[in-house]
Amino acid sequence: MRKTAAAGLVVGLIAALGFAAPASAETSGSAQLSVLHGIPDTPVDVYVNGERTLDDFRPGDLAGPLELPAGDYEVALTAPDAADASSPVLGPVTLTLAAGANYTAAAYLSEAGAPSLKLFQNDIATTAAGQGRLTVRHIAAAPAVDILAGGSPVIEGLTNPNEQTLNLPVGTVAASVALAGTTEPVLGPADVPIQDGVLTIVYAWGSAEDDNLALAVQSVTVGHSNPGGVPSGTAGYLAQRDSVTTMVGIGAVGAVVIALAAMAGIGARRRQESRR
Please tell me the predicted confidence (pLDDT) of residue 253: 41
Please tell me the predicted confidence (pLDDT) of residue 156: 93
Measure the CA–CA gap between 201 and 137, rounded to whole angstroms: 7
Q: Positive or negative, the Cα torsion across 113, 247, 275, 2?
A: positive
Please tell me the predicted confidence (pLDDT) of residue 49: 92
Task: Give the three-state DSSP class for 271.
Answer: helix
- Inter-CA distances, 157 with 15, 43, 72, 148, 259, Å: 41, 31, 32, 11, 13
Q: Taking residues 155-165, report their average pLDDT.
A: 94
Please tell me the predicted confidence (pLDDT) of residue 216: 79
Cβ atoms of 162 and 116 within 8 Å: the answer is no
pLDDT at 24 over 80: no
DSSP letter, residue 179: E
Q: Does domain 1-122 have CATH number 2.60.40?
A: yes
Pick 40 or 249 by higher pLDDT.
40
pLDDT (tens digit per residue) in 90-119: 999 999 999 999 999 999 999 999 999 999
Q: How confident is the model at residue 177 (pLDDT cuts 50, 70, 90)?
A: low
Return all residues near 234 (Cβ < 8 A) that are at least 6 apart.
100
Q: Domain limits of the chain?
A: 1-122, 124-276
